[in-house]
Amino acid sequence: MSKKILVCISILVLSVLIFSACTPTTAVVNEPEVVVDEPVINDGGNGSGGGNGSGNGNGSGDEVAEETMTAEKENAALSVTGNVENELSWSEEDVKALNTLDVESTNSKGETETYTGVLISDLLSLAALKPDAETLVFVADDGYTAEIALADIMDCDNCILSFRSKGGFSSVIPGAEKNLQVKGVVELQVK
């Protein structure tokens, strides 16, 4: 009887091995995807209005280094649009996964704070600016807009979109006018 049990166990083990070898396995690979969108036209004004231009935001966030670009336009936390070769959109997590920088700047209360974020020039470079691009418009989630010369941003080594503690992004442009410190930035529109 013990021979029969050994044979049954052997057949059972072989069956399991054969069955597991025949079962297809799938690997899920989550590779970043660049989303290229159609141009978005901003009807937003010239940077005046909305009370959003006060303060520098409450920048905080973890520093992570890998570059990723994903997010469908409708789910995007941040987009680069307008006079660029490739309009891009990212989720908040994807922006936080880009190379980050800590920047000190004075907030609306006159206090110096440290903000963590991504260089604005890096985001614009990823979208490949067109040669005739001249102006950058920060577009906030409440419709507020503020404009700055594109050359000023591209030459700035400490102008960032900081990570807000309650989610989203704020522009931190050390030494710039108060109206350029925009909270809730959702779009960088290049003109």
With b for 16 or more beta-carbon neighbours within 10 A and e for fewer, the 36-51 pattern comes to ebeeeeeebeebeebe
* Residue 138 bridge partners (DSSP): 146, 188
Res 145 pLDDT > 70: yes
Q: How confident is the model at residue 109 (pLDDT cuts 50, 70, 90)?
A: confident
Q: What phi, psi does 157 have (nearest 5°)?
A: -95, 10
Amino acid at 134: E
Whole-prediction pTM value? 0.64
Where does the pLDDT of residue 177 fall: very low under 50, low under 70, confident under 90, or very high at 90 and above? very high
Pick the residue with more confidence: 189 or 39? 189
pLDDT in tens, 33-77: 344 443 333 333 333 333 333 333 333 333 333 333 444 566 799
- List the domain boundaries for the chain: 51-190
Average pLDDT of the residues in 98-125: 95
Q: Output the pLDDT for position 108.
A: 82
Domain 51-190: which CATH number of 3.40.50.10860, 3.40.50.150, 3.40.50.10490, 3.90.420.10: 3.90.420.10
Within 10 angstroms of residue 90's Cβ, the number of other Cβ atoms is 25
Average pLDDT of the residues of the chain: 76
